[in-house]
Amino acid sequence: MNIILLGPPGAGKGTQAHHLVHAHGMRQLSTGDMLRAAVQAGTPIGETVRGIMARGELVSDEIVSALIDAELLALPPEAGAIFDGYPRTEGQARELDAILARHGRTLDYVIELDVDEDALVERITGRFTCANCGEGYHDVHRLPRVPGTCDVCGSHGFKRRPDDNADTVRTRMAEYRAKTAPILPLYEQRGIVRRIDGMRPIAEVTAQIAAILGFADVSQASMEGSGELPERPSGKAAADAAHQTR
């Protein structure tokens, strides 16, 4: 199973990818995460993209496509891939087709998270994550149950993205409208786009994605209780799930 999560910044792509990884052993291929790691490590690529990312502009197709190609090479063939934040331009979409073909993979779905752009600035500027496990939180909508302690892993360090500020967010949205949204028709022609209302609560969006991908169990789990997060299998359960994602 290979899918693209598509939507403007703040639509919830990373959050949903995170759930699919933990519940089903799929692998998240986030070009944003890869680029941030390169910036932090001070690699030549990191130095090239640092300023571009800080301004909220797109880095070159060549750089991100090379990162994706390398990540796929390292991915076990049985692991399902979630493309998060890639492709973002028509050039990247074409390149992804070629990369997938080289790796013997096919694209199953493009999940489009449809969101109200006006609500996104508030969503993005309030978000932060656990520095240890990556669990996502929000200043208003989702604070840790015990202040300063991650609900999932119990650690105490949190981080915010430097580009999650109102000015940069506007640029990132403009980039999305101008360069990323136009790739949708390409996938619509193939009949693989599934549109989901990304303004619904996280658990509902998770359940809808699970239903599309045929993960009925997660759809059930995520609708229960507080409706916050689905039960996350670990160890053997996650490994077993990974084999089912093929």
DSSP state of 214: T
Q: Considering only 31-39, 109-117, 140-148, 231-239, which stretch makes contact with ligand AMP by CB under 6 A?
A: 31-39
Residue nearer to ligand AMP on the CB measure, 61 or 222: 61
Distances (CA, A) of 51 to 35, 54, 75, 178: 12, 5, 30, 20
3-state helix, strand, coil in the chain (%, to 5): 50, 15, 35
Asked whether 105 and 96 are in contact (CB, 8 A), the reply is no
Under rule CB under 6 A, residue 86 binds ligand AMP: yes
Q: Which of 37, 46, 48, 52 binds ligand AMP (CB under 6 A)?
A: 52
Count, residues near ligand AMP per rule CB under 6 A? 17
Cα torsion 108, 85, 195, 128: sign: positive
Coil, strand, or helix at residue 197?
strand
Residue nearer to ligand AMP on the CB measure, 28 or 92: 92
Q: Residue 195's Cα: distance from chain center in Å?
A: 15
Q: Considering only 57-65, 109-117, 198-206, 228-236, which stretch makes contact with ligand AMP by CB under 6 A?
A: 57-65
Q: Which of 5, 23, 64, 113 binds ligand AMP (CB under 6 A)?
A: 64
Provide the residue type at 160 as one letter.
R
Interface with ligand AMP in residues 106-135 (CB under 6 A): none
Positions marked active-site? 13, 88, 127, 160, 172
Under rule CB under 6 A, residue 32 binds ligand AMP: yes
Residue nearer to ligand AMP on the CB measure, 53 or 150: 53
Q: Residue 166's Cα: distance from chain center in Å?
A: 20
Under rule CB under 6 A, residue 7 binds ligand AMP: no
E-only strand ranges, the chain:
2-6, 27-30, 81-84, 109-114, 127-130, 136-138, 158-159, 193-197
Distance in angstroms (rounded) separating the CA atoms of residues 28 and 7: 15
Residue nearer to ligand AMP on the CB measure, 64 or 210: 64
Under rule CB under 6 A, residue 26 binds ligand AMP: no
Helix (H) or strand (E) holding 240: helix 235-244
Interface with ligand AMP in residues 168-227 (CB under 6 A): 172
Q: Considering only 49-57, 184-192, 208-216, 227-235, which stretch makes contact with ligand AMP by CB under 6 A?
A: 49-57
Under rule CB under 6 A, residue 12 binds ligand AMP: no
Which residues bind to ligand AMP, rule: CB under 6 A?
9, 31-32, 35, 52-53, 56-59, 64, 85-86, 88, 92, 163, 172
